[in-house]
Structures are given as structure tokens and as C-alpha cells.
Structure 1
């Protein structure tokens, strides 16, 4: 039984935490089989928790041994005693945040009793626990979806087919078809940027009713026109598949409103609607209204919007556990990334103005400060295109300092992000492997039980 401690600042009676005959006696605690001894005056140093109010009337007191027995973790009680000795609760980063919170609650302590020097350890442990919980949910979801599909409704099974390639063989086939068509769609868009294809499109705009035999007398133009026709057909097939995929996802989405607000669905709309418009233009009579679209830049805008098809690659990446782990790691490393961004912005501004001041008037490449910003950004990130560079002795000194600054900045912060990724990825692989083995053993035992029946 834990004494009530509603008022943490309430002054204690003179007889509390002492015997009837002694003002400062030795108190013995048996915490999970480990013996701790302290003086009653030590417990009175800090007016927090309920240990200062402890007396022999407490149910945990054993008169035969003269000890207070509590079946708690002795490692955390050591921290509690340290609080009463020093006035500050020190917590190491290796402690479990849940166990720490449970132990503090049992001894009547709160998070605010943690010292300022150790508060960061507590916060980081809680953040890490939350992120590990997300990784754990990913592993559990990936390993149990096949079992859940046995009792799932047709909508849930359809959603698993579309959203989880590991759920079944048809889901893997659908996923592979998606990969092939996404690559095909991106390839078609890239081929459309070739000069020969562009000339075929311009020829079609000028003479939309002309067939392959009337388009041109040159073989190269005929080949380009045939290629354009094949690309349009392939693009139409890809759009058909992606449209069916989006419609099925809308029908089977467990949380339809959230799905309709998601980035991937909105990017699909930006890709599908203009894509169907462009395909319709290529297969229709464009002699009347296509020139007007071209004059108003609408056609070019539609072609730019269809670049949203690249978001389909992001969807494929989201199926990868490594990619999802990377997203969690980037969130976990937001502080380091923010520091890296701040340092880079400051260095870009400083070195950009310095190199501009050193090169202006003598180097035609540095006509304004923005060119200095561009040069410093490329140098700091150790890319070094070589398109512009300082030529004066002072500019070369500034360039060397800029390069060294970039190496030091990136070299100090990037390993932190890499370490976080190794930790989380190792945790994900370890937990996923253990969960998979456990499920395999469970399935084997179930099969043996069925055979015995």
C-alpha cells in the first residue's frame, strides 16, 4: 500500500520517518532481494515522494528482520535513493522509459524531479521508444497480414492485394505489373522528349488528318510517327491500369476519407486527368482546338503536370521496409538535419559574398552575388561543377576555406544520421525475423494439431 501524497510540498510532522526513541536511525530496504540502507535524515533532505513519511506502521515493514520489503526493481530504487542524497534524480540513457515512469510513479515521484542534466536522456528514450513502436507495428503488420486475410472481408482482402505485396501471390503479381507499367510510363514520357518525337508531334499538330503514308516522304519521319503512335498506345494502357488501381483503392480503402486526402491519391489525380486529356488529343481531330491550346500554353502545362507520374515511384518505395525505416530515421534526425541546413545557409551567404567581393571586376563569372551563392553552395556540398570558379589569389583562399568548411560540416553531421539508420534498421530486421520465426512455429503447431485431430 502506497501512502497518499497529494500535497508534495506539505511540511512533515516531527515524528515522521523516525522511531519513537531515535531522531536519525538507520533504515533498511529490501528491494527485490537486494538490501539498501540509508538514514532517516537522508530521506528528509528532499520533500518529494512518500518515502519521507515511511514508518514502521507501513504494511511493507517486517518486524522480524527490521526491513521494508518492496518487490520492485533495485536498479531504479538506487536512482531514487540518489535523489534523496543529492537532491537531483539522475537517469542514464540506457534505462527503459516505461519502466522508469512506472517506478517513479510507485515511489511517488514525477518527471519534473529528473535533473536538467538528464532530462534529455528521458526525452530521447521516449522518442526512441515511440519510433521503435512504429517499426514494431510495421514488422507485425507485414508478418501477420497473411493470417488476417483468412478472416477478412472482400474489401480488406482487396486492399491487401493492392497495398501489401507480401499478403499473397496475386498481390505479388499485381505489384510486379505495377512496377513494369510505372517504368514503362516513365520511359514513354522520357522518349517523348527526343527531338525526332517532338518533330513528329509538331507534324501531327500541323496536319492531324494525315496518316503514316501522307505524313512525310522520309523514312525517319515515318519511323518517328510510328514510334509516337506506339508510345500513345502504351501510355493509354498504363493510364488504364493506373485508373483501375485508383478506383479499386477508393472502393476498398479502410479509411476512405484519409485516403482521398493522402498525397499519393492527389498526385495520382494530377497524373491521370491530364494524362487522359493528352492521350485523347493525340487520337482525336486536333485541327480546330489544338492550335488554340498550344497558343495559350495549356498543352505545355498539361505535359508538365503529367510529371506527377513520378509519385508512383514513391508509392513503390513505400512498400520497401528500408524506405519506411529511412523516413522514420529522417524524422528522428530532424534536429541534426536542421542544424546542417542552418550551417549550410550561413556558409553559403558568407562565402558567397566573400567570393563575390574578391572576384567582382576581375572575373566575369561573378557578376552578382547570386552567382557567388551558387558557387559557394556547390563547393560546400563538395560537388564542384567547375562552371564558375575564383581566379584571384584571395578568391582561391576563400575557395579553399569554403571547401574545408563544407567537408567538416557534412563530415560531422552525416555520420549521426547513418548511425541512427543502422540502429533502426537493425532493430527492424531483428524484430521482423523473430516475429516471422514465431509465426512459422505457430503455423507448424497448428498443422500438427489438425493432423492429430
Structure 2
């Protein structure tokens, strides 16, 4: 009889009935190996009971019937993949119409995993996970933590995790304030109205007096009449620390560039003192000093602070070394903002995660450069032209790579521009927009 070939499956309280040969269509799966000797077989009701998701099982049973596996839209992706794994099925067997849904689910899981690694959402609980980062989990469970072991993780969170507590937020605000102030001073001190002349020592009288965009002074005594000159070799030492507060305050409204430069030096010194304290505290209290030194942002902060002190020492002892070029490292402190803003963290991760796609973008740009360089080279050779500057394709490569992303008022350059802008914008923006949307939406707000 037909009933002899039928089988009843009770999944989550929902009874499904099918034929035994239907379950044999996909071998090496849980349903293809059903026997009456299994513990989940009920001889009274003549059915197999499985305490699993009944909605997902409908799609799975339909897969046995039709040979086509479709991704249900009414269940979470990880739940569907977990059910497939339980029944012994491969999620990669989904139909092509469901590949986008499956791919989106996996991308979301990878993004969530990465966001967890970025510590965007910080728990306020000082539990075993915090002490596990320092290797003190056993001491925590045994209640044998020393005073320093209890204090060190808290100090670390205070300076490294801005959203962990109110105190950490205050520290973060102070750090950002000094960071922005230092960058502003770094930029403003190059203004012509704030630049002062460098006066050489009497022992270096042969050196020419030149305009300097940085603070300069010599330890030797030089008599300068401020009515004729605005340079004073000893201002960095004498003024900031041995002058009354009223005189320092008047520097802010003074028209004398020397006094304004003095004020900026004081502000920059104060900022670097905070950076020094921050570096020392984070280095002493970090879970791993090696990992701390491996972080590019930390290295930039250390080098920028060290160059400031070296510059001050060199000028104090009258050395002739010039470290103004290395001062550009101080502007790179802006990358420290990624430590305080989750959106910037996600953006930096987006560029790292999009390395393959960005390489594809570079390929298209190189392709355009080579094509237009070759075209302009052979186009200029059609007719003899003694003023032809494109004597070789490498020269054309240099011209094309400059003109491709920029618009200039030349016919051939407009062609490059018309091709270059869509390449850069339309290939980059939609992808980054999609990555940022799926990774940053609905996450906790950052410090700003």
C-alpha cells in the first residue's frame, strides 16, 4: 500500500508527511539515514520527532522534493545556516536567485566580527574579560589580585576606552582639545605675521640672517634694540616661565610677532606635556607593550612628541641642526582622532577591508593612463611638430597620470577628465557607501 512508503516527521510540533524515497534523494544527510531504531522515533504515533525550527524545515523538505534550495526571507541568516548544518546540508547549494541574500548575511557576520574586534561598544563591567586581556583571569577568579593589578586595567580603560566611563569621556575630551590646539598652533605659527627672524650668535656672525617659520634663539647674549628688530635670541627661555601672568595675557592682543610667537610656544609646550603624560600612562598600563608599539597611531604620537623635545634641546644648546622637516609628523597626530571616534575607526577598517576593490580601481586608473599616454604620443607623431613635448610614451604616462584626475582647459585633458572622474567617483563611492551603511548603521554614537 502507499502508506507503507510514507513517513511522518514532527518538527517543532508541526507534522510533515512525505515519502521515504524522497528523503533518499540527497544521500549522506540526517533525513536519508532515518531508521526505526533511532531514539527520536515514536512507535505509537509512528513518527520521528525533531525539536528544531519548523519554518526552516519547510524549505529543507522542499529541497528534498524539488532539488532546489531557496533562502527564506522570514528568518535570520545565521539561524538558517545553523539549521542546514544540523540536517547535514550545505548552504552553498542555494539557488542563484538567493546568492545575494546569502552573501549579504555572511558579509554582515564578518562586519559584526570586525566591529567587535574594534571595541566600538565597550562594556562597563570590570569582569573577567577585562583582566583576561592582561593575563590575570586566574588571579581574578581566585580573588588574589594585588592593588596594582586592580588599578592598572582601570587606568588603561580610562585612557584607551573613551566610552567606558564618564571619567574616560572627560579624558578623551581633554585629549582631543589638546590635539586640535596643537594642530592649530602648528598651522598658525607659519603665518607671515607670526614668523620671526633668526639671529645668529656672535660666534656664528658669518651666517646670514634669514626668516624662520619656527622658534629660534641662541643661548649667547645678544643686544637687540626691539625698535629696529623683532628678534630676541633668548625669548624661549626667559619669557614663558619668568614673566608675570598679566604680561603673558597681553601677548594674546599684542601686535608684536615675537610676543605672539612666545604665546604659541607656551601653548605648544603645554600640549606636548599632556601628550607626554598620555604616552607614558598608556605605555605603562597597556596590556602588551609590544602590541602598543606596533600600533601606527601610537608610533606617530611618540615620534611627534620626541621631535618637539629634540627641537627644543637643539635650539637651547645652539646647535645648527634643522628638524623643521620632521615637524610634519606632528600634523599626522590627526590620526589619533580614530581612537576617539567610532565612525573614523569604521572608515579606516573599510579601506583595509576594501583592499581588493581599491586595487581594482587602481588597475582601471593605470589602464586609463596607459591608453591616453599612448594615444597622445602617436597623435603628436601624425604630423611633424618641432615643439612636440611628447618624445616618448613614458613622458605621456607622466602627463596622463597628472591630467586623469584633474580638469584643465585643454581639449585632450578634458577627454582624460571626462573619463577619469566617472572612474574615480562611480567605482569608489557606491562601494564605500554600501560598506559604511552596513557596518556603521545603528551602532552606538561616538564621542562627537
Q: Do Structure 1 and Structure 2 share a fold, with TM-score over 0.5?
A: yes
1:107 aligns with 2:87: yes
1:240 is displaced (CA, Å) by: 2.1
Which residue in 1 is equivalent to 2:334? Answer: 313
1:263 is displaced (CA, Å) by: 1.5
The SS at the match of 2:26 is coil
1:96 is displaced (CA, Å) by: 4.0
1:249 is displaced (CA, Å) by: 0.8
1:274 aligns with 2:307: yes
- 72, 81, 97: which one aligns with 2:52: 72
The SS at the match of 2:376 is helix
Distance 1:168 1:36, change over 3 A: closer
The SS at the match of 2:218 is coil
Q: In structure 2, how many angstroms separate the alpha carbons of the residues matched to 1:172 and 1:417? A: 29
Which residue in 2 is equivalent to 1:254? Answer: 287
1:400 aligns with 2:410: no
Q: In structure 2, how many angstroms separate the alpha carbons of the residues matched to 1:320 and 1:250? A: 21
Q: In structure 2, how many angstroms separate the alpha carbons of the residues matched to 1:195 and 1:370? A: 40
Alignment coverage as a number of residue pairs: 389
1:180 aligns with 2:177: yes
1:261 is displaced (CA, Å) by: 2.2
Which residue in 1 is equivalent to 2:431? Answer: 416
The SS at the match of 1:423 is helix
Q: In structure 1, how many angstroms separate the alpha carbons of the residues matched to 2:353 and 2:17? A: 41
1:41 aligns with 2:21: yes
Unmatched tracts of structure 1, length 5 or more: 1-20, 294-298, 434-453
Relative to the length of structure 1, the TM-score reads 0.70
Which residue in 1 is equivalent to 2:30? Answer: 50
1:421 is displaced (CA, Å) by: 1.4
Structure with greater helix percent: 1
Distance 1:356 1:174, change over 3 A: farther
Deviations 1:320-379 (A, max 9, x none): 121123234334544433332322222222223323443575876766656644554465
The SS at the match of 1:29 is strand
Which residue in 1 is equivalent to 2:150? Answer: 153
1:97 is displaced (CA, Å) by: 4.7
- 355, 368, 371: which one aligns with 1:350: 371
1:326 aligns with 2:326: no
Distance 1:86 1:351, change over 3 A: farther
Shifted more, 174-183 versus 58-67: the winner is 58-67
Q: In structure 2, how many angstroms separate the alpha carbons of the residues matched to 1:50 and 1:80? A: 12
1:219 is displaced (CA, Å) by: 4.9
Which residue in 1 is equivalent to 2:159? Answer: 162
Q: In structure 2, how many angstroms separate the alpha carbons of the residues matched to 1:362 and 1:76? A: 76
* 2:78 and 2:105 in contact (8 A); partners too: no
1:279 is displaced (CA, Å) by: 0.8
How much is the aligned-residue C-alpha RMSD, in angstroms? 4.0
* 1:31 and 1:71 in contact (8 A); partners too: yes
* 2:11 and 2:49 in contact (8 A); partners too: yes
Q: In structure 2, how many angstroms separate the alpha carbons of the residues matched to 1:50 and 1:170? A: 55
Unmatched tracts of structure 2, length 5 or more: 131-139, 141-148, 208-216, 233-255
Deviations 1:391-443 (A, max 9, x none): 4xxx37xx4365146326632542232123123222314xx79xxxxxxxxxx
The SS at the match of 2:89 is coil
1:250 is displaced (CA, Å) by: 1.2
Relative to the length of structure 2, the TM-score reads 0.71
1:428 aligns with 2:443: yes
- 105, 108, 120: which one aligns with 1:128: 108
* 2:9 and 2:47 in contact (8 A); partners too: yes
* 2:69 and 2:94 in contact (8 A); partners too: yes
The SS at the match of 1:153 is helix
The SS at the match of 1:142 is coil
* 2:42 and 2:49 in contact (8 A); partners too: yes
Distance 1:174 1:62, change over 3 A: closer
